Amino acid sequence: MLFEKHLGVIDREAAQLCAVSDALWDNPELALGEYAAAELITDLMERYGFTVERGVGGIPTAFTATFGSGSPHLGVLAEYDGLPSMSQEAGIAEKKSIPGRDTNHGCGHNLFAGGSIGAVLAVKDYIEATGKGRITLFGCPGEEGGGGKVFMAREGVFKGVDSVVSWHPERMYMVRTRPSLANVKVNYAFEGIAAHAGGAPHKGRSALDAVELMNIGANFLREHMELTSRVHYAILDAGGVAPNMVQSHAVVQYLIRAVDMEAVRELHARIDRIAQGAALMTDTTFTSRVVSAYADLITIPTLQATANEAMHDIPLPVPTEEELEYAKALQATFRLTQEEKLLPPLATVVKDPAPPVAHGGSTDTADVSWNCPTVQMHIGTWAVGTPGHSWQSTSQCKASYAKKAMLYAGKAVAGTVMRLLENPALIEKAWEEHKAKVGDGYVCGLPADLEPEILPRSEK
């Protein structure tokens, strides 16, 4: 195994890394309100000898932690926000919420943080031994809908970084090859006229009617847009709970996805015209406000090949019989595809990178990828077939096998980074591929005056 001496740091620090992951799981915080998480991680990084800058990109819970100097300058991402409505006890195969708790880690960001800290500690050991390069841990809050990395990218936080290596909890071990969709999230607020629905309906103008007609129009649009595009919506404010009143106010949020930002802009304009039509039909008015916008993910074959080599070089964690039985019990609670039924309950091999295929999801890591060559790895922390953002994934995010996989992730990320530091020609080739894909460069999809929706610090 290449760089075994330096990767051994992760084994020596395993107890500390698992303690960080467990602390984040035990004290989950929502997007852009991760004050305790950011303080825990930044204090730890300072103790390990990293230079820490807090509040980067205009976000109190975003940070950088850097060791070394000069170039190449490589980066590792860390996420640490939880999800609402994910209350679930850890390590059990039944749905059971924790009394008094709503938020939890259903996407594995507690593991994400722990593994990435391990990665930069191993790279620090390499830099101390060789004097080569610089490593930065980028603390990225608000991945779950807050778009923290987008705001950080807009403020130039990732400028000057030669490459970024990242990972995410998943159901398999494989370098990510799938591009993600660009998107924009928009709130449409309709204003009408309140009236008694029975006594004076002719005097009312229903904002809720406008929202419902807009949604109908959007549903008819689905037949006439690209197969790779996606349109989702949620009614944020239905205007009240009294059916004998004409609702004078209603708000619907739209998430509009397409293969790139240009396609998103075109689809966004069509949704705007549907909103205008709904307002005309109901004699109401509306305003719209962009809440967030993500770019599409730029994939870099050279970095994918390097990460794939690192992943195959490191032994996968071996599950115990108890861990396998827990995974099987969880699988009994959700649907498995025919292909998944033929696989062991926990992934046992590193899959070779698959040909890029269309993907319906989005990630704010995409905005990082427009600023510098970026690669991601899928790490099998969960049982095969586990749906993300579920009680099953939440239960596993503090389980013993997930923490083994987290430590493997740290080694895979560090192994990739050290290969790049050893061979800067790989970074040069990655930049050639990057420049060929980004064209005129990164243009942030956020309105210039849009600020992140920072949550207040909890009083507890």
pLDDT 10s digits, 278-325:
999 999 999 999 999 999 999 999 999 999 999 999 999 999 999 999
Backbone angles phi, psi at 370, to 5 degrees: -80, -20
Q: CB of 11 within 8 A of CB of 5? A: no
CA 284 to chain centre: 37
Q: State the residue for tokens 């006594």.
A: 199
pLDDT for the residue 192: 98
* Helices 109-130, 35-47: crossing angle, 10 deg rounding: 20
Cβ(114)–Cβ(53) under 8 Å? no
**Residue in 348, 334, 337, 374 with CA at minimum distance from that of residue 168:** 374
Mean pLDDT for the stretch of residues 34-43: 98
Closest CA to 271 of 227, 232, 312: 232
- Percentage of the chain with pLDDT > 90? 96
pLDDT for the residue numbered 356: 81
Q: What domains can be seen in the chain, in order of their start residue?
A: 4-178+297-438 (3.40.630.10), 182-293 (3.30.70.360)
One-character DSSP codes across 41-86: HHHHHHHTT-EEEESGGG-TT-EEEEEE-SSSEEEEEE----BTT-
Report the distance separating Cα 91 and Cα 17, nearest Å: 18
Can you tell me the mean pLDDT for 400-416? 98
Cα distance between residue 439 and residue 366, in whole Å: 15
Structure token digits, residue 70: 């000069």
Return all residues near 385 (Cβ < 8 A) that are at least 6 apart. 171, 331, 334, 335, 336, 337, 340
CB 157 within 8 A of CB 335: no
Q: Per-residue pLDDT tens for 197-240?
A: 999 999 999 999 999 999 999 999 999 999 999 999 999 999 99
| Tens-digit pLDDT profile for residues 339-389 | 999 999 999 999 998 888 767 889 999 999 999 999 999 999 999 999 999
Q: What are phi and psi of 75, to 5 degrees?
A: -125, 150
pLDDT of res. 205 = 98
Q: Give the integer Cα–Cα distance in Å for 335 and 349.
A: 22
Describe the crossing of helices 4-12 and 14-26 by its angle, rounded to 10 degrees: 50
Using CA atoms, how far apart are residues 404 and 22, in angstroms rounded to an integer? 13
Are 79 and 37 in contact, with CB atoms under 8 Å apart?
A: no
Backbone phi and psi for residue 164, each to the nearest 5 degrees, phi listed first: -125, 135
What is the model's pLDDT at position 355?
A: 81
Amino acid identity, position 440? D
d(CA 417, CA 254): 38
Share of the chain above pLDDT 70, in %: 99
Identify the CA nearest to 120 among candidates 50, 42, 15.
Answer: 50
Q: Give me 404's structure tokens.
A: 């083994």
Contact yes or no for 458/345 (Cβ under 8 A): no
**Token pair for 430:** 């990655």
pLDDT digits (tens, 9 = 90+) for 90-142: 999 999 999 999 999 999 999 999 999 999 999 999 999 999 999 999 999 99
Cα separation, 208 vs 87, whole angstroms: 32
Determine the Cα–Cα distance for residues 151 and 292; give it in Å rounded to an integer: 9
Distance CA 458, CA 197 (A): 41
Residue with tokens 């990828």: 369
Contact 288, 236 (CB under 8 A): no
Strand partners, 53: 64
* Phi, psi dihedral angles at 147 (to 5 degrees): 60, 40
pLDDT tier at 459, thresholds 50, 70, 90 = low
Between helix 14-26 and helix 35-47 the angle, nearest 10°, is 160
pLDDT of residue 418: 98
Pairing assessment for the beta strands 73-78 and 163-169 based on DSSP bridges: parallel
Residue pair 158/41 in contact (Cβ under 8 Å)? The answer is no
Query: Are 199 and 258 within 8 A, CB to CB?
Result: no
Residue 186, pLDDT > 80, answer yes
pTM of this structure: 0.96
* Ranges of H-type helices in 222-320: 261-282, 301-313
Residues near 192 by Cβ (< 8 Å), separated by ≥ 6?
204, 205, 206, 207, 209, 210, 246, 247, 248, 249, 250, 282, 283, 284
Round to whole Å and give the CA distance between 66 and 447. 30
